[in-house]
Structure 1
Amino acid sequence: MKPLSVKELKAVIAGELTQGHDDMIIEQGAYRIKQVKKKNTVLFSKIKILNWNDLKEFFPLVLVTNQELTERDQIDQLSVITVQDVDVAYWKFINYYRDLFEIPVIAVTGTSGKTTTKEMIKHILSKSKSTVSTDSTNNSRTAHLHYLLSIDDTTEAAVFETAVGAPGDVLIAGKIFKPTIGIITNIGAHHLNYCKTIEAYISAKGEMLQALNNEGVLIINSNDENSKKVELEKYNGRVIRVGMDSYCDYYAKDIKYINNGMQFVLRHKRKRYKTFVPGLGRHQVFNALAAIAAAHEVGISLKKARKQLKTFQTFNKQLQVFPGINNSIILDDTWSITTTSLEAALKVLKDLGKGKKTIAIVGTITDLGSWGNIVHKQAGTLIYEIGVDVLITIGEHARIMAEQALACGMTSSVYSFNNSILANKLLKNIVDENTIILIKGDMYSQAIVDLAYSLRREK
């Protein structure tokens, strides 16, 4: 954080210093008590703090409050700024701090690929620019202030992941980060326990247009069907399309699997650029296109962006290849699961499994609410359409996929288990050196994670 004095903050939020000193320096910010982790923090709090002992190790501290002070609150190294409305003061502080910096800020959302795309952009930019970003997949609302305050006078660019757990999430992130470039990687079916309908979920992702204040640069996947439903007609900003079609601003041709990654020809403004991105699958090419487009908008040449992308490190448990039991091949994709990422993983299995026996082990899709039955049926249809030689589902809800695949006419072997023990026993009997196994699930499903690990061949 760029340090601010109490005097400066007081002027920004139109507050009155009722205790403490104008010259105290603020180096951190918080709006919940549990977010206070360091000294010299300003805490915006609407509630009466009853126990200062829990905070004394973090003094000196600045409190912004609308509560009346008592003798109990008169503590050395505690400065208090009194305001009429803490929420109004908080947003004045947010707006003031963000407006201190005229830098490119990239916001990335999407059902799948947002963390990977964000990390690709960070990796490309960090070669030549001081860049701040969200940490791994930690993209919750409660972390937004921390990420905003990570920007300081040394920062030259920022890239933040903006997830959708519920309608309004992208808007709030946009209000805090004020992005200049927004990316929608794709829109599948997820978080329907809060968004309720697919249409509402698409609309929630489409909040990116408002987050860009209707004037920034929007990068969108032109080959994603739901992304096409985002209403762009009244958008006054610039739209950059990435995909596989020649009308796109950045598009890929001649896509090939090579050396645990994807090789393709990037086409941009009638020029061709041979490009390599680590990570398996055509979906990884979409991620790379969005990352390259964003970096290019920030001023990184395509030559430098492509060179840096070659050294990108993929995430653990995202279509990682391992030697498996009975000399088989394992594709560990247990990072997360949505219908979008399931489709991508199944296509990789099909591409790499030509001439081999293909086995898909699939776990439950979470965060669906009342849509659970429908989305699991959609997943079952996907499995049938793409095709595998053996389908194994783990979990009661995942069984719906197996039933749907059979109902669609699947003639392959299908097994459904409530846990991984029986699946493990089955696999030891049907797997050989001519087998490739995809295990697809959620990192929070211990049964899936344990099964994936147990299928690896000991070195």
Structure 2
Amino acid sequence: MTTTKQLYLLYQQHPVISTDTRKIANNSLFFALKGDKFDANVFAKQAIEAGAAYAVIDNPEYKLGDRYLLVDDVLTSLQDLARHHRRQLNIPVIGLTGTNGKTTTKELINTVLSQHFKTQATQGNLNNHIGVPLTILTIDATHELAVIEMGANHQKEIELLCSIAQPSHGLITNVGKAHLEGFGGVEGVKKAKGELYDYLGGAGSEWREPGKDQACVFINSDDDILTKMAADRGLNNIIYYGNTGASNLVSGEIVENAPLLTLRWTNNAKRESYTIKTQLTGAYNLNNILAAISIGTYFNLTTNQINNGIEGYQPKNNRSQIVQTATNTLICDYYNANPSSMVVAIENVGKIDAKRKVLILGDMFEMGQESIAEHTAVIKKAFDTPVDERIFIGKDFSAAANNIKQPITGKNSFYPTADDAISGLRANPIKNSTVLIKGSRGMALERLVELF
């Protein structure tokens, strides 16, 4: 069997990893991962023929020569290789997780830090047990700092990802209602996300700043859940940020939300304030922006570097993106959805300055037994928010509609499927409005955009 050290010697000669035979990088190491519907051992020969230097396999039937490296388990070998590589890197790694805002916050942090450092960060949302090791293995000797996003839908997953990424600094954006089926309720979510704090406060964090007995943790001081989670674990190397508070490294507030955010932030040590215009919408993004500002400040970036990073960041991947059409302003936020993110997105529409407002909300997935109750709560929140029209799409929203009385104000429609909604919107087009489109990725709400 090929050992991790043997693999690492080959990785140093061939520091590019491939996992998809349709995208084989020349002279790379191909890892034959298994999926629910495929076994990439079958494609090892194809990978070699396509240009891979070696193929890592765990089925001896496919070992056709010295370039086929047999291991006990391909996924475990990939993770062990990444873990070993991280130990060779004497650089800070910022690990972040949370219920909402992980990817946006990661992108903001990376955009700010890259104004000064050569950074590497998780690409897109490749934040799971495969994506994290793949990201770690893209870090080379020229990188000065890394930002690693860690996602989870069950217990012990963050613990595993921490053992691979070995973060020296960490951030939990928030703890809310998501993947309730896998976590076993909100308390399960807190426990799972708290695995990052457990790691940072324990002996597991191998890279630390000189003179520190714990890794550094960045915490929103306005979040009572996070501050209690940190206190319960005895964390002491904490940098705070938030709206108010004398202990904050940086503080901030929204100046305008129409619908792009303008905010004022203060470096409390210098007692200096700055106003910046962002390309983000959503009052809920204030804390994500402040997290990036606090980390930039902590790592001694100049004010201009921090402000340029924040102002230059453009959201993508259908997360709080503003799309301007001929007659409407769309807030496209349909990459993912859960009860927590739904509530803040709805609240944001209620606060923004617009003449006519419309909510288009699609079903939230992975809610388990709480699904109807959570969809009912979202409907109530939407009904309590001053908008001109509300459109709900999906079988769970339709089922939940029977539980509540419709409000007197505003027009309200329920469609069991996205196709039904498309037909309804074609018959009754929306014009001259600011429209929030939000739902779980599986609802494919991007199909609605062309109707506006």
CA 403–297 in structure 1, closer or farther in 2 if over 3 Å, else same: farther
The whole-number CA distance in structure 1 between the counterparts of 2:159 and 2:11 is 35
Q: CA deviation at 1:127?
A: 2.2
Are 2:433 and 1:452 aligned?
no
Question: Paired residue for 1:346?
Answer: 346
Give CA deviations for 1:404-447 in whole Å, capped at 9, x if unaligned.
5637x66543221122134304643xx554x433222234323x
- After superposition, what is the alpha-carbon deviation per residue over 1:110-151, rounded to whole angstroms, capped at 9, x for unaligned? 122111111111111222211111111222211222111111
Shift of 1:38: 5.0
Residues 103 and 124 in structure 2, CA contact (< 8 A), matched pair in contact too: yes
User: Is residue 415 of structure 2 the alignment partner of residue 417 of structure 1?
Assistant: yes
Q: Indicate the residue corresponding to 2:134 in structure 1.
A: 146
Is the 8 Å Cα contact of residues 178 and 367 (structure 2) preserved in structure 1? Answer: yes
**2:5 matched to 1:9?**
yes
Aligned to 1:3: none
Q: Distance in 2 between matches of 1:410 and 1:112?
A: 32
1:209 and 2:205 aligned? no
| RMSD of equivalent CA atoms | 3.7
**Which residue matches 2:208?**
none
Choose which of 433, 436, 446 in structure 1 pairs with 2:434.
Answer: 436
Distance in 2 (alpha carbons) for counterparts of 1:107 and 1:188:
19
Structure 1 range deviating more: 220-229 or 205-214: 220-229
Distance 1:23 1:386 in 2: 55
Q: Specify every segment of 5 or more residues in structure 1 that has no aligned partner in the other structure, as ranges.
A: 1-5, 14-21
The match for 2:67 among 78, 81, 96 is 78
Q: What CA distance in whole angstroms lies between the structure 1 residues aligned with 2:70 and 2:440?
A: 45
Contact kept? 1:443, 1:449, Cα under 8 Å: no
Matches within 5 A, 1:40-119: 40-41=28-29, 53-57=45-49, 58=51, 60-61=53-54, 73=63, 75=65, 77-78=66-67, 93-119=81-107
Q: Which amino acid aligns with 1:312?
A: Y
Which residue identity lines up with residue 360 of structure 1 in the other structure?
A: L
Where 1:175 maps in the other structure, the secondary structure is helix
Indicate yes or no: 2:312 matched with 1:314. Answer: no
Does residue 160 of the first structure (1) align with residue 148 of the second (2)? Answer: yes
C-alpha deviation, 1:176, in angstroms? 0.6
Whole-Å Cα distance in 1 between the matches of residues 340 and 244 of structure 2?
A: 20
Deviating more after overlay: 337-346 vs 230-239:
230-239
Letter matched to residue 99 of structure 1: R
User: What is the CA-CA distance between 1:168 and the residue it aligns to?
Assistant: 1.7
Distance change >3 Å, CA 27–CA 398, structure 1 → 2: same
Give the CA deviation at 1:8: 9.5
The answer to whether the 8 Å contact 1:170/1:211 transfers is no
Q: Distance in 2 between matches of 1:126 and 1:376?
A: 40
Letter matched to residue 290 of structure 1 = A
Q: Map residues 111-260 of structure 1 onto 2, 5 A cutoff.
A: 111-214=99-202, 215-224=214-223, 226-228=225-227, 230-247=229-246, 248-253=248-253, 255-257=255-257, 260=260
Inter-CA distance 157–364: structure 2 relative to 1 (3 Å threshold): same
| Alpha-carbon distance between aligned partners in 2 of 1:422 and 1:228, rounded to the nearest angstrom | 47
- Residues 216, 358 of structure 1: CA spacing in aligned structure 2 closer, same or farther, 3 A cutoff? same
CA distance in 2, matches of 1:34, 1:145: 20
Q: TM-score, normalised by structure 1?
A: 0.80
Q: Secondary structure at the match of 1:230?
A: helix
CA change 1:401–1:115 in 2 (3 A) is farther
Return the offset for 1:51.
7.5
Paired letter, 1:357:
R
1:295 aligns with 2:296: yes
Paired with 1:78 and 1:436, the residues of 2 have a C-alpha distance of 57
Query: For the Cα contact (< 8 Å) 1:320–1:333, is it kept in 2?
Result: yes
Provide, for residues 205-258 of structure 1, a one-character-per-residue CA deviation record: whole Å limited to 9, x for no partner.
Answer: 111112325321222233345435525333344222222122433221353236
- Are 2:220 and 2:240, in contact at CA under 8 Å, matched by a contact in 1? yes
Aligned counterparts of 2:12 and 2:96: Cα–Cα separation in 1: 36
Contact 2:376–2:400 (8 Å) recurs in 1 = yes
Shift of the 8–92 alpha-carbon distance from structure 1 to 2, 3 Å rule, reads closer
Q: In structure 1, what is the Cα distance between the partners aligned to 2:361 and 2:91?
A: 43
Shift in alpha-carbon separation, 1:353–1:416, aligned structure 2, 3 A: farther
Deviations 1:192-212 (A, max 9, x none): 121121100111111111232
Question: Any idea what the Cα deviations from partners look like across 1:344-399, whole Å, max 9, x if unmatched?
Answer: 32233222245x33321111111212221222122123223434333221111123
1:321, 1:33 → 2: CA distance? 36
Residue 156 of structure 1, CA deviation: 0.7
Name which of structure 1's ranges 371-380 and 199-208 shifts more when overlaid on structure 2.
371-380
- Rounded to whole Å, the distance in 1 between the matches of 2:282 and 2:408 is 24
Give, in angstroms, the shift of residue 401 of structure 1: 5.5
Secondary structure at the aligned position of 1:112 is classed as coil
Q: What's the CA shift for 1:34?
A: 9.8
CA shift, 1:10, in A, is: 3.6
Residue 241 of structure 1 aligns to a residue whose secondary structure is: strand
C-alpha distance after superposition, 1:305-333 (max 9, x if no partner): 123221111225334444557x4443333
The residue that corresponds to 1:363 in the other structure is 362
**Is the 1:380–1:400 Cα contact (8 Å) retained in structure 2?**
no
- Worse-superposed segment, 147-156 or 397-406: 397-406
